[in-house]
Structure 1
Amino acid sequence: MPFLAVIAAATGWVSFLTNLEASRHKIEEQGLQAAAALSQDNAKDLLHTLEAVDHITYYIKSGWEASNGRLTLESASQIKDVPEDFSFYITIIDENANLLLSTVPNPYRANVLNRPYFSAHRQARDVFYAGPAQVGDFSRRPIIPFSRRLSDSRGNFNGIVLVSVVPGNFISGYDDAVLKNHGILAVMGADRSMRLARLGKQLVLPQSPLLTDTLSFEYPSGSTLLNGKEWFADGRNRYVGWETIDEYDFILFTGLDQEEFLAPYKAERAALIRNAILLTIVLGLLSLAATMSIMLHAWRRCQLETMQETYRAATEGADEGFYIASPIRNEDGKVVDFRFTDCNERGAEFLGYRRQELIGKRILELYHGEVANRTMRMLCYAMKHRSYEGETDMTSLGIEGPAWLHIRISRPENDLAITVRDISHAKAHVFELERRSNEDALTGLPNRHWVTNFLPDALQQATISRTTVALLFIDLDGFKAVNDTMGHEAGDEVLRNAGRRLKEAVRPHDPIVRLGGDEFLVILEHLTNNNEAAHVAERIMEAFRPPFRVSQGTHSIGTSIGISMFPKDGKEAHTLLKNADIAMYSVKAAGKCGYHFFDESFYDALVSRHQREKELRYALDHDQMVVFYQPKVDIATGTTSSLEALVRWAHPTQGIVAPNEFISLAQETGLIARLGEQVIEKVCAQLAYWSEHTQQLVPVAINISPTHFQNGNIVEVLSSCMKRYGIPASLIELEITESTMLENTEEVTQAINALRKMGVTLSVDDFGTGYSSLSQLHSLNFDVLKVDRAFTVRLNRSKDGNILFTTIIKMAHSLGMRVVAEGVETLEQIKTLKAMQCDEIQGFYISQPLPPADAQPVLPKWFFPSIM
């Protein structure tokens, strides 16, 4: 046995290690493929970026030369077909290499005569120059320079146009999930020199050592594994891929860190090796146990010769009955009867004899009919298999004496040693425990535990008989109100009455189960179609129409019934119960008091909603929410008066998800409070960042959910965040929905008063969608009233729409509030709003929500006074 175990273990280890090595080769091939695919994808993005920059430089060059130097850079920075999140600066440099104009805020004055991006154009004609990443001469920030030559009307050199692009535009495709902490995304020139790179979260400029030698590629694109000690400054091996961009002589280069890419494989390999070692140990132990078992069996055979006498002596004074029965065989050797050759007094008493009377008697002398047949089958089984143990219900056999006996039989040699023990008291106790465990203490109905034992057998019988089983999952509508208003004693009384009404509504043989709380289950067997189940459901609903009369009064209770059918809606008990519960939930969703059969589409929708909720929770836990900012413009001066913070979901596979796809889900699941707190945190952090890079800031408006007021923590959350980032109250504006005002509870009033004392600006959001009154607006003392976009859309469409908007403006002004019109999308709307003396406007005509940048997205001044 041990020798066979060693051979099996050796064979298994050779096969196991061979498979592990093959798996490693496969994983490495996947690493090379992934590096090549990343290079191809990012090369496409890089090509689009270079085309955009080329378009910008050519547009500015043409505009500047055509206008004889009168082109405004503000209008030039709004070139069409350039992505909204594309960050760059435009600078005009004269023929003496001095700064002439620039969109860089507060640019440094520097002469760039010796810079390659300037000297490249002094002799050459119209060439699109692309330089390596460097610290900008005018912005003092990392940029990548792109330039074109400017010529006067005679074609002479007249300076250059310089477009300084933020490096992030070129390495935005760095995927943290794939490249992780040590991946590389780099842009190389045709000379194989590094123009820009990102290593993990670090931006690497050409001056920083990343590669120890110049790479040379034999093909325009491909992938390979590079030794870290030979090629990389950090010494880490990487799977690298490259893709050549022929249009601009650039190469996109990516590197997947080998150690990080193989980490899952190594972890799995270690786990597999541990399991293999464990299995080897187990195999050794099993072989040892088998050897010992064989030896033990031989020893036991020697001991069995004395067991009969010893066992009889040990049980003589005990409460157990003991018998020795010898088989009686016919001429063919078949056992046809048994004779009692020995017994103790207790054993004889069980059978209604004295010991001397029982010894020598045969089984077929003592018993006849079914009793004799069952006894012979039991003893013959023990003869064949050398042992038997079981329990017998003596009352079912019509034998006087103990109700239940425990019988144990062994065959040491040719005779049977039989031990009998009275277990009547223990069985009665077990039956009582089973009854209690299967019965609901309040209603006396079967309980959930009973269903788990009964339903599988019922379904098996239905399968054999090819009939249908229906489960009616019943939930009482309005029961919670009874507990809340009349107390739990009244609730218990209603549940007992509900059980009685269910018994009256269903067929006499249909089981009724109380699952718990106010949930019941009716099991309908031997059905032929769905109509029979529907008929019973209608009877139940009719039975619950009369009000329930309890000691504390009367109360109306309805029923929501979900129905699942076997085998159509499931072939297992737990599946049918789950589907009946889902069907009941669909009744609740549709308005309660009715019945629905299980519908797969509703289940799919429920699963989809749960999956979306799971993704949203993950997004909040892993910081996937981002905040965009939409400017609001003062209609009188044309200047940006403030920004509104608008949350977006940066979904890892679906991209930027608009709020209308997840805000309602966040409200339903109670996640809106966490979402709001994250938005407050991000806005305060962004304001702190802007304050370090911008001299003058405009306030930012944050939308507040009614849940914050229900929880009562909005004041603490906001004040803590403002203090942590050092944000003054003058830079914060809170937009509170009109529905929050409608509650007008003491908690809401106290919270609003506390916010006002902090000095933040308070705004009524989506005004006109609720039913707030003048008294509420006056008592809560808000600063700003934002009119819902539904009113803005009606402007200039009807006289009533203009009159209503004018009335809202006059009402707000009379209360000392500024008015902001949402959803402005046309110039005609702006003219109408200015004529109405509206204070501020916001909408896509002014600007779409913008992602955060180095500075606040404050718009250039709008010339509203001149167009009216």
Structure 2
Amino acid sequence: MLWPIAAIVIGAIVWQLVVLNLHHDKLLLEKQTRDKAEALANSYAFHLAPTLEEIDQIALHVRYDWQLSEGRLSLEQAKRAGLFPPSSIFYVAVIDRNGMPVTGTLPTHGSVSLGDREYFLFQKTATQDLLYIGPPVIGRISERSTILFSRRIFKPDGSFDGVVLVSVSPSYFTADYNDSALGINGFVGVVGDDHVIRATRTGQTVHPPTAQALISAPLFAPPAQGSALLDGNEWFADKRSRYVGWRAVNGYPLTAVVGLDTEAVLAPLRQHEAQVLSNSVWATSALAFFTLIATALSLRLAWRKHNMELMQSTYRMATEGGNEGFYIARPIRLDDGSIPDFEVIDCNHRGAEFVRHRREELIGKTILALYAGANPDRLIRILHEAMQTGAFEGEVEVPSESPVATRWVHLKILRSGDDLALTLRDISDTKAHVADLERRGNEDTLTGLPNRHWVQHYLPRAIEHAAANHLMLAILFIDLDGFKAVNDRMGHAAGDDVLRSAARRIKDAVRPHDCVVRLGGDEFVVILETLTHATDAAHVAERILYGFQDAFRLTAGIHSLGASIGISVFPDDGTDVDTLLQNADIAMYSVKTSRKRNYRFYDQRFYESLRSRLEQEAELRLAIERDQFVMYYQPRIDISTGMTSSMEALVRWAHPTKGLISPADFIPLAEETDVILSLGEMVIDKVCAQLADWEKAGKEPVPVSINVSSRQFNETDIAKILSASLTRHKIDARLIEIELTESSMMGDSQEVARALTAIRRMGIKLLVDDFGTGYSSLAQLQRLDFDLLKVDQAFTARLEKTKEGSVFFLAIITMAHALGMRVVAEGVETEAQAEILKALQCDELQGFYISMPLAPSDMEPFPLRRSLPLTA
């Protein structure tokens, strides 16, 4: 009985082991099947994304062509030209704002209104430009089951103008059904986020989605990815249970679904179970045990191999639609363990195209064979690095002898086991675009020279090289003399011609290896490297000055310009970029303030002088902000009556520490900067305010003349400024006179005439100040219609000294009277001068003999009538 008992015990143990092992295998197979279904769903979703993007691109291109052709696009002609897929798969149409088809790749029969379609109503009321993916319907034009994609057409003002419709057969989305992977009862499908099925396929059968012939229950709530065993009685019309995996399609409201039939999946397991049970009945417990173990191990190894092959196939299939090349390389090891070469064991079609091969030709080739006749050492080193570190990623410049058909690639390598997975992406266009942007960012668009941005990057390296090699380096700072006059009088086009010509002349003057840079405006910089002595920089500066001796022949005329050049030398004048440029600029400014058209080396005294000038300029600007200026008034008298005819307004700076400062000490500085513009506007306002105060006090004021700078006259709308001040203070324009120097009339004659005409129309008189010191002609004086000439005091001083002084003055008076102008003699300081001027029939006198300039508070009583003791 021990044997039967032993047999029963052993049999029970063996059968329990057999049952448990079979159950474990079933659970494992189910888990692996769910993982496989999920992996297939991932691959399917990854494949759907570019397909949907392609459909969207078709809609966008049709919309763009429709709008570009202003509604004249013919999709029928585009279809005949082969620009669209077959009509059995794709139908493309343009629908107007009323829902009527305008053009399409299929002919329409009669009037087919689509205005009630869901996609049309969605796009008509949409507030955003979206790709609408509708539920499957029977197309009114195609008369077949279809999925509708649409994009909104805009008017120029952004309002609704119609719809671009792309109708796609549901079979298009299930065309990649793989019988070997899914079987005849597996299925693939596409489900919207609204749980409406777009397309399904089982084996060779594409199910009509409108009838939902396969799926009998709504699919699939979040999460966006997963797998499950679905009961056929509850989920499927054919009552077959399936392992289902799903994955949301990236960027679209769709989910890819893949199902594996449970019967097909479990059939091998059930056959195995029957065989094991049969063998267990007829064989010994020991034989059955070893058979089960061997079978289980074989199944496991086979399944792992199958999974690996499936994963490679899936990844390759997923990358076929992209632009990246994919390879798997296996090292070839020698007996000593070294790796002299690698073999390509797999790749996608894009990867084969990169190296000018077909995929079938490339698989099995080694790197050395692929690089026949070229040197693959760099690639071999990168592959070795990836084998050691497990990964490599970077941008690689491809040598010309490489079989890779591009210039720059982004290479990514990951080690998986003993193999390397390589991903290659062409970035040549991106690199070229970046290089072009860098070139544009460092180049002056007008002259083609390097610009300030380039200097800030280049000069530090040049200084570093000079310091390391104990060499000299010089900076030539060049400013064009007379450029502003060309730009103002001849226009910006002429100014641009000057800058281009100046750039060429400077390039021709310097040495071939010297760098010429345009900083901006009319400022240039020349960088001189590898100098042995500072005189070398002087020789270059002399050649540049010589290059500017000839006049510039412009389309607007011939004009002569010069150049002022400042030179700083490394290391004597600075050891960094900012200091060298600043000191060269200071040296150039010292040339500007002297005789121009010359060059100078930097000197510390220039810096002190410039700093003093900048301090004075800042102090002058602050004085304007704080209103530290007061007005004095010097009377003019009528020589025939001896009565005050007018007063000249003279500005004084009431400095808080230096006291009252004469205009001679600050007006020249104001003229050199833009301070004169705000100062001149302030003087006009102060004079008008003073006249208003005198009128309010019950005094009868005489006209006041205001000196207007040539810069204020040429760079501002002086008529507008005068009008605003007169209106603000409610002053009669006849109480204002404007004094202009002859230099103010040397600009564009038409502009001068327009400005003077506008001032005269306001009722303001015009005076020519300091006449005789400028270059005005009789014709210009007559054409511009001035009221008075004020003869410069230098001519008044000569009246008592020479007979020619009286003759010259008489000529001026005679000329002015002939032109209908009165004459004012400035600088009258003696009674003898007044007597001579009266004899010469001068009209008015002004000077210290008549009155010193007076502050308004000193005018008691107000000098409306000021007698002059002249003999008859």
Please tell me whether Structure 1 or Structure 2 has the larger radius of gyration of its CA atoms: 2
Please give the TM-score of this superposition, normalised by the length of structure 2.
0.47
